[in-house]
Structure 1
Amino acid sequence: MTPLQQVPEYAAPPQLRDWWISPDAFTTLQFYEPTSLTGRSTGWIGISHETGKIYIFSFTN
């Protein structure tokens, strides 16, 4: 996977969910471009090496 050149901004849904990553945990993620896994050029893949969780954020224009 290709690392992102810039750290994305944190985004939260209008109504927080239990499974949504916290702002503090977000800062610990390593970010990658989503194209290789999702086929989309928008969004990111974030990996937490502390918990082993993988987060995928994608959207359409």
Structure 2
Amino acid sequence: MAKQTIPGVQTGGGIVPKLIGAAITFAVLVLIVKHPAESAVWVKGAFELFLALVSGFAQFFQGLMA
């Protein structure tokens, strides 16, 4: 049987991308700890935007099918 790789997180790529990812993760955690109420509002807004995008795609494809 052929060996299959699992797509997803790449282990290579050097130190700079890992440092950037760690810095972004740290910044998000600091924002959540220092401003939990505002963070909740931002997450709610992002979720509502995601739902609007999904709804828009659904309407688009329904229009194509009609």
* TM-score normalised by structure 1 residue count: 0.22
Larger Rg, first or second structure (1 or 2): 2
Higher relative contact order, structure no. (Cα contacts within 8 Å, ≥ 6 residues apart) = 1
* TM-score normalised by structure 2 residue count: 0.21
Higher helix proportion, which one? Answer: 2
Higher strand proportion, which one? Answer: 1
